[in-house]
Chain A
Amino acid sequence: MTAPITPLLSVRDLRKTYGHRIGCADVGFDLYPGEVLGIVGESGSGKSTLLSCLAGHLEPDQGEVVFDTRADGPRDTRRMSEPERRMLGRTDWAFVHQHARDGLRMGVSAGGNVGERLMAVGARNYGNIRNEAIDWLGRVEIDETRVDDRPSAFSGGMQQRLQIARNLVTGPRLVFMDEPTGGLDVSVQARLLDLLRGLVRDMGLSAIIVTHDLAVVRLLAHRLMVMKSGHVVEHGLTDQVLDDPQHSYTQLLVSSILQV
């Protein structure tokens, strides 16, 4: 695979502190189109902080997050105006929360949840919006007869799939996911992972996936970043990092999983 010249996302020297405590620091990497980057590390290592800074939900103390925009090429998202950043957030970017209810409107039907982003970018034909919503429910394996049901009537796995459909409907180029399989039964997790893998492949998505679960990254991520105490301690191709971990912390992480 030959990498294109321009990374989709280019992160430099990113730092976020909470008072004296470090959230994340000295983070830098490039993400190329079609690439999936996994971020692993123990609880409190700074994964969610980093992801939130990348997605513009948290304001970093310093650093650059340069995104290759469709219209104007690479731009530092931190220097964008808020309307521009929020527009990115509902068009080219998507964010899948660990808890589906943080990413869904629980009082709105499944169809309305999927249709929201379409309406947010100007779709004004009910029939088209509904058809697209039904199409997307199918792609995440939710029966179209459920299109008018509220997510509260869905199982955890279905809610998570609905959240994914809601995010992908506008054809984003970059998807942020924070523990997308967390809190789900193992069998449900496997199905969701399968689905995600298919979508990422078929849509040529670029994604950054935060997880505790090395099985998730093994299946989905091309590259892997290992975090500890807010810092990236190891970074490389997923198989290399998992099969031949260099940093002692990664070795511990990998072996602790193997022992399970």
Chain B
Amino acid sequence: MSDYNFAYLDEQTKRMIRRAILKGIAIPGYQVPFASREMPMPYGWGTGGVQVTAACLTPDDTLKVIDQGADDTTNAVSIRKFFQRTAQVATTEKTGKASVIQTRHRIPEEPLREDQILVYQVPIPEPLRFLEPRETETRKMHALEEYGLMHVKLYEDIARHGHIATAYAYPVKVEGRYVMDPSPIPKFDNPKLESAAIQLFGAGREQRIYAIPPFTRVVSLDFEDHPFEASKAAHPCDLCGATHSYLDEVITDDAGGRMFVCSDTDYCTTRQEAGHRGRLSPQEDAA
């Protein structure tokens, strides 16, 4: 039992957020201001994503929450519990079974479908903020499509590191118009931003919502002579042997031992269950 309205927020607030979401979908990549509400969790814990999820959920939904690809981190667990308690929705760890997925820092490896919604938690929605702190000016730059500054940032990267060193929150241009911060996902995930699912981005502290509608063109910014690369560690997963999934490096002992494992836990377990093996998979018992 719960004393809350369904999914915690009152209907008035959810309507307001849905209007912002619809506007965001109508103008792909455009940051729509919204009146972010106080949530029973601190900023930085995904209050923007939580409000977007709350506005999207219906009683029939199945919710999955991931943090850096894992379903069992404190952040993911507490958000999942929050919606179990306030919306009594079913939850899952299986990407394919979820209708709504709230995420921080990753896009699931398994391609998403048209009947799924991916909700991102966003700390800083403004991709131009790094070089232009004035909000009035960045708004104008978006309005007038003045995006040269974005390339100045990439130029600085190459000048300093010899290559584009930006590895997370790599800026993209959406449907040939708005430049957007995809939230701190690894650039490896950028190609997955072109998806069949609806992608919604919520920034709580900064009070912005933006969206990528299904099958929208999303291009990662780059230079002709330094083209974008969706790079990852050059290893297969040590547990499931996957060669094209994003890997976390795990230190295994204090003698320099380390292993690489899929950051998407569901993807990795599903592959292991299907019989895939990696370098460090436990030896099978001869049954």
Contacts and interface: CB of A to CB of B under 8 A. Distances in A.
Given A105-B131, A126-B225, A121 B148 contact: yes
Interface string B113-131: 0000000000000000001
Contacts of A111: 155, 159
B152 A119 contact: yes
B156 A117 contact: no
Interface string A128-147: 01100000000000000001
A148 B152 CA distance: 13
A120 B150 CA distance: 9
A162 to B, nearest CB: 15
Contacts of A120: 146, 148-149
Interface string B275-286: 000000000000
A116 B152 contact: yes
A119 B159 CA distance: 15
Contacts of B223: 124-126
Contacts of B225: 125-127
A112 B155 contact: yes
A66 to B, nearest CB: 23
Nearest to A118: B148
Interface in A72-114: 82-83, 86, 90, 105, 107-109, 111-112
Contacts, number: 54
A115 interface: yes
Interface in A156-178: none
B131 A124 contact: no
Give chain A's interface residue range (CB within 8 Å of chain B). 20 to 34
A127 B226 CA distance: 9
A90 B223 CA distance: 21
Given A107-B131, A116-B149, A116-B152, A126 B158 contact: yes
B97 interface: no
Given A108-B131, A111-B159, A120-B146, A125 B224 contact: yes
B274 interface: no
Given A107-B131, A109-B159, A112-B159, A83 B144 contact: yes
A86 B155 contact: no
Q: Name, among A112, A120, A129, the residue most crowded by chain B CB atoms within 10 Å (CB to CB).
A: A112
Given A83-B144, A125-B225, A130 B159 contact: yes
B138 to A, nearest CB: 14
Interface in B207-224: 223-224
B160 interface: yes
Contacts of B149: 116, 119-120
Contacts of B258: none
A126 to B, nearest CB: 4
A148 B148 contact: no
Contacts of A82: 144
A86 B149 CA distance: 14
B156 A124 contact: no
B151 interface: yes
Contact of A119 (B148, B160, B224, B226): B148
Contacts of B156: 108-109, 112
A127 B224 CA distance: 9
A112 B154 CA distance: 10
B144 A115 contact: no
28 contacts: A83-B144, A86-B146, A105-B131, A108-B152, A108-B156, A111-B159, A112-B152, A112-B155, A116-B148, A116-B149, A116-B152, A119-B148, A119-B149, A119-B152, A120-B146, A120-B149, A121-B148, A124-B223, A125-B223, A125-B224, A125-B225, A126-B223, A126-B224, A126-B225, A126-B226, A130-B155, A147-B159, A148-B160
List the 3 shortest-distance A-B pairs measured between CB atoms, nearest first.
A120-B148, A119-B151, A126-B223
Interface of B: 131, 144, 146, 148-149, 151-152, 155-156, 158-160, 223-226
